[in-house]
Amino acid sequence: MLKIIRPEMLAIQRRFFEALDVVIGMGQCGGLQTFCKEHGLNRVKYSNIRSEMRKPAEEAKPTNYKVIDLDALSYLCKDFHVSPEWLLFGNGKMFKG
């Protein structure tokens, strides 16, 4: 049985990977593998989710790993000062002032 992923969760995941890409681009994190290793997250899962998130909606296919872990959101906010308001709701700026 496939779990239905609501549009709000997809938006949160898109913002998560957008912020992570910015953090990586700024040199604050070595990459997805580094982020996952430092926080005990499954890198394969996150790579699969990221790959699907980059595809246009009509090409995306369901995967075994559909959603990011909730604690990954907190790591992004805590370690890199990503705004939780932006990450969850898309309001304001990506980073806390």
Q: Quick check: is 93 in a domain?
A: no
What letter would DSSP give residue 83?
-
Q: Quick check: is 53 in a domain?
A: yes
Q: Quick check: is 92 in a domain?
A: no
Task: Give the total number of structural domains in the chain.
Answer: 1
Quote the domain boundaries for residue 49: 7-87
Two structure tokens written together for 17: 């990977």
Two structure tokens written together for 38: 């430092």
Q: Quick check: is 46 in a domain?
A: yes
Higher pLDDT, 2 or 42: 42
The reported pTM is: 0.88
Q: What is the pLDDT of residue 5?
A: 75
Q: What is the pLDDT of residue 92?
A: 97
What letter would DSSP give residue 85?
H
pLDDT tens digits, one per residue of 27-77 = 999 999 999 999 999 999 999 999 888 877 666 665 555 789 999 999 999
